[in-house]
Structure 1
Amino acid sequence: MSPKASHASSTPSPATRPAPNATSRSTSPSSTSPTARSPTSSTTSPFPRPPAGGTHPRADQAPRPRSPPSVGSPRASRPSTVATTPLSAKAGVPRGPAMRWTTATLRAMSTQTSNAPSATRRGDIHRWRNTLIATTRDAPSDAELPSHVLMSRAGFIRRVGAGIYSYLPLAHRTLNKLCAIIREELEAAGSMEMLMPSMEPMEFFAGSKRDVDYGDNLFRLTDRHGRVAALAPTHEEIITDVVKAAVTSYKQLPLNLYQIQTKFRDEFRPRAGLLRCREFLMKDAYSFHLDIEGEGGLDEVYETMRTAYTNIFQRCGLDFSAVEAESGPIGGSASHEFMVNCETGEDTIMVCPETGYAANVEKCEIGERQWSLDHAATAEHQEHHTPKMPGIDLVAGALGTTAAGMLKPLVMQPAEPADDRPAWVLVTVRGDHDVNEGKVRDALGYAVKMGDEKAAKEAGFAIGYVSPRMVEKVESSVLVIDHDAVNGPTWATGADKYDHHDTGFNWQRDMAGVFGSASATDETPHARVRIAEVRNAEVGDPSPRAKGARLEARRGIEVGHIFKLGDKYSKAGDFQIMDKDQKRRHVIMGCYGIGVSRTMAACVEMSHDDNGIVWPVPLAPYAVVITLIKPEDEQSIDTATTLAASLATEGYDVLIDDRAERPGVKFKDADLIGFPLRVTIGPKTLEQNSVEIKSRSAESEAELVAIDDALEACKRRL
């Protein structure tokens, strides 16, 4: 039996379970009709009636509100279809232990999603006076981005320290809903939930060398016995150790595990609220395979997880793109980022408008362009005194050129020293371009990092005034040059002494020992020189996918990242299994992350207006707020609680604003928080036997709706 079916068989369904603030519901097929929900229903009322002998809950007599489900509760992760009818049964897909979770299987199991909540879940009804919702007029002084400003003002988060936040009830409800969507889609993709410790012994990171890769971003601590540990940013090492202890045969693979847990990153400058903080909520999944290709291989499961991620972000109502990405310190052969398209995003996405190719600027390829070493010098070499001129633009102006006419050599070092590697790597790009460390790694075959300034000076580099000529002067060094940086007759560059620059530099004339006998397009003109694409792509660069097309740029916020890890961590942890030929092989891994708290903030960045947040229905803390103009009015209370019970029966979460506040304050708070739908009830609307309904969207106008039609009117707008 599948996990979903097992859960459903052992847990009373909401249709038969007594619920607070709720009326009884019939389990017959006709229960979708308002008049069929209760034997005592009136044919004239659109709302379900209470059980015989009961009364509607009054706002001043309401049962104790249920707290929102915790992240790991069954209610938070309940499937979006009736659990006793498995999705696979509808699609003709077998379920059970022998199930192969392929991309085709996932697609067969997929169903159309909508904003309507699950039929198996009863909505919550809460009173504003019983919740912790503290809206404020002013934003924190350090808040710059809309998500930071609005989530602070609307009472979702509260700053505790630099990059550390409390999630208040509204945020917790939204996070629970997001986690429920994630759980449903990952279970459909064949992933099983678990939980690993936040504190990880440092020897795990040392084994994979990520203690070096993460550097100061890794939180480190030492216990009373002198043992060093880290607060984990991800869990590749631990999950490898866990699975290694349990899996010994290829017959136990593929295996896919995930967790939703708090992670830590020692950001140098935490900023932007939840988008760049030191403690955050993350979902990380890990898959294990015998092979990369074939059934159950990494490629197949990677595509299944990519489809699951697409489903997750679509269900959240996000405008997003899946783009090729650089793997960074996690490593691996390939990766994709899921970016929320947003102008305030800190990431740059390069796009080919003709083919749809999209990649993070750190990964984006550049189309073919002409280059040649065969350029005769057009100016004499001259040295210039350039004191106190930090920065390319200032120097270029003094030398009578532009940043594009200058060379920018950066002094770097191998990230991991080795006997067969040089001590120094001199990477040279055009002055208006930026070095791409990932492309340098690909050109050399090993990762690099910025050189230690003190050691570089001791080696003879005049930091800030370096020229490519230093590769001939410094032993154990190599020179890597970008294609665009060789394609010109003369350049301005450093003079290899402080406060001085040169003009008229020519590669073949001034470095004849390196380039004198090289052919015009030789990418390895010397044993210590590589010519390759080592810069970031820019707007207007040739597209790598369509001849004649030019790259464009847009901004985005990374909310998910998936990786093909290969055997990096299984080798580090010596995780091998026996294959069918009784040969020991390192396990192949994949890694799949979602920044849960970051996704919540990215949604606000994407969806807000001058009045506040505009939540998509699936993530809203409450789908409906019922605003009472006079909370002491008996008829208003009865109408509100009856409508709330009906909406809850349909699965919608409802907040009744019963505060003794002016209507204008309540309306502004509702807009600030971003409830998708506001229902206003007061003596004036009741005189017309109506309620006022208004959607949060900017173009929506308030509309009077007859009380008998209120439930259906709300459902149409949700």
Structure 2
Amino acid sequence: MKATQFFISTLKDAPADAEVVSHKLMMRAGFIKRLGAGIYNYMPMGLRVIRKVENIIREEMNRAGAVELLMPVVQPAELWQETGRFEKMGPELLRVKDRHGRDFIIQPTSEEVVTDIARQELRSYRQLPKNFYHIQTKFRDERRPRFGVMRGREFTMKDAYSFDRDAESAGRSYDAMFQAYCRIFDRMGLQYRAVAADTGAIGGDRSHEFQVIADTGEDAIIYCPTSDYAANIELAEALAPQGARPSATQSMAKVPTPGKSTCEDVAALLGLPLTQTVKSLVLAADETDDSGAVIKSQIWLLLVRGDHDLNEVKAGKIEGLKNGWRFATAGEIVEHFGCKPGYLGPIGLKGVKIVADRTVAQMADFVCGANEADFHLSGVNWGCDLPEPDLVADIRNVVAGDLSPDGKGVLAIQRGIEVGHVFYLGTKYSKAMNATFLDENGKPALMEMGCFGIGVTRTVAAAIEQGHDARGIIWPDAIAPFTVVLCPIGMDRSAEVKTAAETLYAELQALGVDVLLDDRGERPGAMFADWELIGVPHRVVLSDRGLKEGQVEYQGRRDEAATKLALADVVAHLKARLKA
């Protein structure tokens, strides 16, 4: 490709609404143009990256035995009503009506459609296993789209769906996809971790996220540097402190804490470590009738140590909260505690279920709210001042330094961006949609399913978040818009430069190298700045002065300085760098 035949549109400054690095650089490098909130045009330079990401995904999915098809963006609501997701999914699901008043949705994912295909086409165990995938536009009506394509409303995703005869076979399909995903992200040249994850709204029993490592990532990845343990913050287990609970050494006392409503403020006032305080969080679980009206609400008090945070996903797995919970209202709190938030505690309560985090259950002589404004209780002990909690459970986020659940070290935390997710669904969708096949005995059985997604456009943004510097993007070779750029200085004025550049260009093209010849006639500074911003991994500069000495300058995008090479050696040098 020659630059004059292509479309290059760079900006000196990013738009004011661009928040994160990837958004700023994609806008500046001319990869995307904003059309509406969370909706972007993918310009030629950006589309080349997307297509390279898609091609790697497609090759590895095919290699793993998946079969490509294409499902529509617009889907009839009836299928989503079969699974109940038409009502349950909430405002993120964009619902539309056609001219006849029939309901449709703009797909955020395709479990229903692919299950409908399977129940019509896969009739016998002899047709299983099958794995269907497509790469298609998705739409999720985000409340507040932000971060460019990282959290846009319209995006491209590869989603795959496996169908198996039993759980054992489904496990093999899951493992095959897990390995395929590892190959995909390895080939893309990205640093990533596969972490155990909560299945969330998709449902199912087994789940892993693929997280691209980036300091700017939204997600916290929990891992053990001395073992293979890795999980996301929602799933990572916080073990109970080792050893028995310490014996009580203090008597409970009511202490004034005027205006001190946080654990941090109370600890500072009393001259105690924050780890000696207990934080109270009040939840409510509503019981409803068939019409959805609330019959009654059970109030729950969840206790975590003052320096810890509640893990809401873990809280939602507690028996009694599994079917949904909310934070209690101010009125409910006053009714059950006789006090406003900030001074709440577990002593003297009636009709409130108390759940203590594992760490809190091991604490002695702790400080908690007195259920009276401007007062706390110190020297509180289980079994002495209050009965043992109704339940002890892991309900907090882990922190760096916690013991690893596998017993092989302590936990560390790094940031990541989720770009892929694999789920073992079981029969969640096949049961809802009666997707059955005939087994060896001629009896109908439900298909076991898995689903496997990769955010294509999100992967592009994540790669930029991982690879950039003050000058612009640093792409891995495999997904760069162009692998090599030739920068001839004064090509429009020097026949020698023009001839050498076009000869080298033709030679690299013949070798199958994805090369671009910048024949725009730009000044060296502007030309170099463009390609550093765009992030092409390998640059070769040709100039009159250099050619007179039989030399060109090569510089990798990550290199500190250029290297002078003999013109005759540059192709071999590039081949070696590209192979590496």
TM-score, normalised via structure 1 length: 0.73
Matches of residues 9-158 of structure 1 in structure 2 within 5 Å?
125=1, 127-158=2-33
CA distance in 1, matches of 2:153, 2:487: 37
Taking structure 1 as reference, are residues 532 and 192 closer, same or farther at Cα in structure 2, changes over 3 Å only?
same
Separation in 1 of the partners of 2:237 and 2:444? 37
Q: How does 1:137-286 map to 2 (within 5 A)?
A: 137-202=12-77, 204-210=79-85, 214-221=89-96, 227-286=102-161
Would the aligned equivalents of 1:331 and 1:565 in 2 still touch at CA under 8 Å?
yes
Partner of residue 410, structure 1: 281
Structure 1 counterpart of 2:356 = 481
Which of 161, 165, 175 is the equivalent residue of 1:303?
175
8 Å CA contact retained: 1:422, 1:478? no
Encode CA deviations 1:125-145: one digit per residue, 9 max, x unaligned. 2x2223222111112223343
Q: Mean alpha-carbon deviation: is it higher for 161-170 or for 656-665?
A: 161-170
Match of residue 326 from structure 2 = 450
**Mapped pair 1:683 → 2:535:** no
Match of 2:572, SS?
A: helix
**Counterparts in 2 of 1:224 and 1:380: CA distance versus 1, 3 Å:** farther
Q: How far does the alpha carbon of each residue in 1:141-169 deviate from its partner, in whole angstroms, 9 at most, with x for none?
A: 23343322222222112233333222111
CA distance in 2: counterparts of 1:400 and 1:185, whole angstroms: 59
Partner Cα separation in structure 1 for residue 201 and residue 167 of structure 2: 21
Q: Distance in 2 between matches of 1:329 and 1:506?
A: 39
1:593 is matched with which residue?
453
Alignment-derived partner of residue 397 in structure 1? 268
What are structure 1's unaligned runs of at least 5 residues?
Answer: 1-124, 516-524
Correspondence 1:323 to 2:202: no
For residue 206 of structure 2, the aligned residue among 313, 330, 334 is 334
Q: Indicate conservation of the 8 Å contact 2:357/2:393, yes or no.
A: yes
| Larger fraction in strand | 2
CA contact (8 A) 1:404 1:432 kept: yes
Does the 8 Å contact 1:693/1:705 carry over to 2? no
Q: 1:655 aligns with which of 506, 516, 520?
A: 516
Distance in 2 (CA, whole Å) between partners of 1:466 and 1:565 is: 43
Q: How far, CA to CA, are the matches of 2:79 and 2:343 in structure 1?
A: 39
Q: Matched residues in 1 for 2:191 and 2:231: separation? A: 16
Report which of the two structures shows the higher radius of gyration computed on alpha carbons: 1
Deviation at 1:223, TM superposition (A): 5.2
Unmatched tracts of structure 2, length 5 or more? none
Q: Pick closer, same or farther for the CA change 1:557–1:483 going to 2, 3 Å.
A: same
Alpha-carbon contact 1:426-1:478 (below 8 Å) kept: yes
The one-letter code sitting in structure 2 at the alignment partner of 1:314 is: D
- In the TM superposition, residue 684 of structure 1 has moved relative to its aligned partner by 2.4
Distance 1:367 1:489 in 2: 18
Answer whether contact 1:316 1:619 (CA < 8 A) is retained.
yes
- Code of the aligned partner of 1:232: Q
Provide the C-alpha distance between the structure 2 equivalents of 1:249 and 1:478, rounded to a whole number of angstroms: 50
What is residue 714 of structure 1 aligned with on the other side? 574
Q: TM-score, with normalisation over the residues of structure 2?
A: 0.89
Counterparts of 2:156 and 2:377, CA distance in 1: 51
- Residue 355 of structure 1 deviates from its aligned partner by 1.7
Of 423, 438, 441, the match for 1:581: 441
C-alpha distance in 1 between matches for 2:284 and 2:128:
40
Is residue 349 of structure 1 aligned with residue 226 of structure 2? no
Q: Could you tell me whether the CA contact under 8 Å between 1:437 and 1:449 is conserved in 2?
A: no
Shift of 1:688: 3.3
Which letter maps to 1:644? Y
Contact (CA 8 Å) 1:377, 1:506: kept in 2 or not? no
Could you say what secondary structure the match of 1:426 adopts?
strand
The one-letter code of the counterpart of 1:610 is A
Question: How far is 1:231 from its partner?
Answer: 3.0
- Per-residue displacement from partner, 1:309-344 (whole Å, max 9, x unpaired)? 111111101111111111111121111111112222
> What residue is the counterpart of 2:236 in the other structure?
364
Aligned residues of 2:347 and 2:386 also touching (Cα < 8 A): no
Aligned length: 571
Residue matched to 1:68: none
Opposite residue 500 of structure 2, the aligned amino acid is T
* Secondary structure of residue in 1 paired with 2:167: coil
- Could you list the per-position Cα deviations for residues 92-131 of structure 1 after superposition, in whole angstroms to 9, with x for gaps in the alignment? xxxxxxxxxxxxxxxxxxxxxxxxxxxxxxxxx2x22232
Deviation at 1:459, TM superposition (A): 6.2
Compute the displacement of 1:375 (Å). Answer: 5.2
CA contact (8 A) 1:399 1:503 kept: no
> In the aligned structure 2, how far is the partner of 1:568 from the partner of 1:156?
39
Partner of 1:537: 398
Distance across 2 between alignment mates of 1:399 and 1:218: 50
CA distance in 2, matches of 1:702, 1:656: 19
Deviation at 1:415, TM superposition (A): 8.8
Deviations 1:626-669 (A, max 9, x none): 11212323343333222222212211122221223211111111
Does structure 2 retain, via aligned residues, the 8 Å contact 1:219–1:264? yes
Instruction: Please state if 1:693 is matched with 2:565.
Output: no
Q: CA deviation at 1:285?
A: 0.7
- Give 1:600's aligned amino acid: V
- CA drift of 1:435 comes to 2.0
Compute the displacement of 1:546 (Å): 2.3
SS at match of 1:444: coil
Cα RMSD of the aligned pairs, angstroms, is: 3.0
| Aligned counterparts of 1:204 and 1:375: Cα–Cα separation in 2 | 59
Aligned-pair CA distance for 1:207: 4.3
Contact 2:221 2:231 in 1 (8 A): yes
Q: Percent identity?
A: 42
What is the distance in 2 between the residues matched to 1:494 and 1:226? 56
Range 610-619 or range 439-448, more displaced: 439-448
